Amino acid sequence: MKIIKNGLLEHARQAESPNSNARPDETDISLIVIHCISLPPGEFGGPWIDRLFDNTLPGDAHPYFQGIQSLRVSAHLLIRRDGSVTQYVPFHKRAWHAGISCHEGRENCNDFSIGIELEGTETTDYTPAQYDSLISAIAALADTYPGISTDRIVGHSEIAPARKTDPGPSFDWVFLQQKLAQAKRGSL
């Protein structure tokens, strides 16, 4: 994978979300935030994540949707269980994924971060295909944005610990760091 013109990821399906705006400084991209999502909770596949991020989630399609249909949220990327990638917001723009957040004393992490959603739950193992796509996306981001490095990747739970617990204990941080180190050495 690589970043192509206009902040888009090559080979990602594009599904533009209206839930984005200009960053205060487009050159200040220095953090990756990993999230997890499934809609309805615990169910995978289907159109619901796209519908949430494009503000067309029908409240009557599932009882859970009634409480979230009015949210205005987005992420830069979604990585499905099969490893396929959807991009909702170009990287140079601010996606609305972190909410009230703080990293190393800096508040408003949306201003300087890339949000990546993994289709899953905090207690269901993520798939090898998801890790492969995540590693490829991180490598492309690190090649394009000098502020991104392997020590600048966090879970949503780290930047909003009072509110969020994702990506949860099912996410294998050690495996991710090992694979990123291999990729950096060119042996992936």
Q: What is the CATH number of domain 3-185?
A: 3.40.80.10
Q: If 0-12 CB within 10 Å is exposed, 13-18 middle and 19+ buried, where does residue 14 land? A: exposed
Tens of pLDDT along 49-97? 999 999 999 999 999 999 999 999 999 999 999 999 999 999 999 999 9
The two structure tokens encoding residue 139 = 């490598």
Model confidence at 5, pLDDT cuts 50, 70, 90, reads: confident
Pairwise CA distance, residues 43 & 45, whole Å: 7
Q: List the chain domain ranges.
A: 3-185
Of 120, 125, 134, 140, nearest to 177 (Cα)? 134
List the catalytic residues.
117
- SS3 of 107-131: ECHHHCEEEEEEECCCCCCCCHHHH
